Amino acid sequence: MMLERLVLRDFRCFTRLEAEFHPQVTCIVGRNAIGKTSLLEAIAVLLRLQSPRTGSLQNVIRAGAKGLVVDGLVDRRHLQFYYSPKRRKLALDSVEQKLTTTYLEVARVVYLANSDIDLVRGPAELRRRFLDFLGAQLLANYREILRSYEKALRSRNAYLKMYPSRPREVQAYTKVLLKFGHQLTALRAFLVERLEPEVVRAFATISDRGEVVCLRYLHGATMDFERALHESAAEEERLRTTVVGPHRDDVQFLLHDQPADLFASEGQQRTLAIALKLAQAKLLAADFSRPPILLLDDVFGELDQTRRNRLLQQLPPASQQIVTTTSLNWLAELPAGRVCRLEEGSAPADRIIMDRPSGSSAS
């Protein structure tokens, strides 16, 4: 699958941006804080209708704007997405789509960023978001089950805030929460089970040190969700919110049976995070006829040449790669492609993409 063209309006720092991409590798060069990360995020939003960086699309609307537009051409199919806090509209080949199913079948995407180290050492919310971003691409019913659980959770929490001392009345919301909570937990556990062997292989290839890695899925309600809800009733009444459930799930990385967030070095944590994203790419490439589009946000500059080469060797063959960087010093290691520079335009929030000769350098 290939992204040919992208048009943005009122997305993060952009009032408007237009860009075209090479079928193999497009390298986008620019200084820090120019909008390179936001450009890759916009591609993910166009293709998946969700951001890998934030749980709410309201956060990516440009300050002062009412809504955002992302528009693109993928394998000659025209995708359009408009979002505002009051309205959402998506179209495929200029035909408005009431459901997301057909739209989301067009492309899959993997987003690798320098900040991915926080998937290992950061809060559980980031790991849940990663699972949800992968699950929505890999499993047909994942997105619907997740949305149903989140809706049931919001309703139950709203009732607990208003009537914390009415346990009988809250049971109606609890039944729905249990139904979708059990389904969501099963899907997430399945994802972790599929990810683990791929993470182990990718980590071993990149690190080349024989270190033992494993993933552990931590349930947010122990194994018995219904019992956990019953036992937490007093705490719920006190806090006026649901304190157990899949919204508290986590994934733990273990290195030699020790929690990687506490005992692994920064280099090991970074390699684990890269291995996780490579595992995501391998699963998507294996389950579908075409490899996913790879978005690599300033990843290579943080690695030494040996690890860069090992990472490049692990990327799914024939995948389109869109890479951002502040420097072209290592560009010769990439396959042939197109090099562009992201610069400020005439208006304060405008950015423009300019072709740049592949032999040039950037600071």
Of the candidates 223, 258, 287, which is a domain's last residue? 287
Q: Are strands 338-344 and 321-325 parallel, antiparallel or unpaired?
A: unpaired
Q: Are residue 155 and residue 194 in the same domain, yes or no?
A: yes
Q: Are residue 5 and residue 89 in the same domain, yes or no?
A: yes
Decide if 246 contacts 185 (C-beta within 8 A): yes
* pLDDT on residue 357: 43
Total domains present in the chain: 2
Q: Where are the beta strands (DSSP E) in 114-248?
A: 213-218
Q: Tokens standing for 251?
A: 């994934």
Look up the CATH number of the domain holding residue 159. Answer: 1.20.1050.90
**pLDDT digit of tens for each residue in the chain (363 aa)?**
899 999 999 999 999 999 999 999 998 988 888 899 999 999 999 999 999 899 899 999 999 999 999 999 999 999 999 999 999 999 999 999 999 999 999 999 999 998 999 999 999 999 999 999 999 999 989 999 999 999 999 999 999 999 877 777 788 899 999 999 999 999 999 999 999 999 999 999 998 888 999 999 999 886 689 999 999 999 999 999 999 999 999 999 999 999 999 999 999 999 999 999 999 999 999 988 889 999 999 888 777 788 888 888 888 888 999 999 887 776 666 666 788 888 876 444 455 565 544 444 333
Q: Are residue 275 and residue 312 in the same domain, yes or no?
A: no
Integer angstrom CA distances of residue 280 from 61, 145, 275, 311: 28, 20, 9, 14
Of the candidates 287, 312, 335, which is a domain's last residue? 287
Q: What is the DSSP string of 153-191?
A: HHHHHHHHHH-TT-HHHHHHHHHHHHHHHHHHHHHHHHH
Q: Are strands 338-344 and 25-29 parallel, antiparallel or unpaired?
A: parallel
Q: Model confidence over 76-129: pLDDT tens digits?
A: 999 999 999 999 999 999 999 999 999 999 999 999 998 999 999 999 999 999
Cα 39 from chain centroid (whole Å): 14
Q: Are residue 56 and residue 147 in the same domain, yes or no?
A: no
Q: Are residue 128 and residue 276 in the same domain, yes or no?
A: yes
Task: Return d(Cα 361, Cα 130) in angstroms, integer.
Answer: 34
CB-neighbour burial class of residue 233 (10 A; exposed 0-12, middle 13-18, buried 19+): middle
| H/E segment holding residue 37 | helix 36-48
Domain extent at residue 252: 120-287
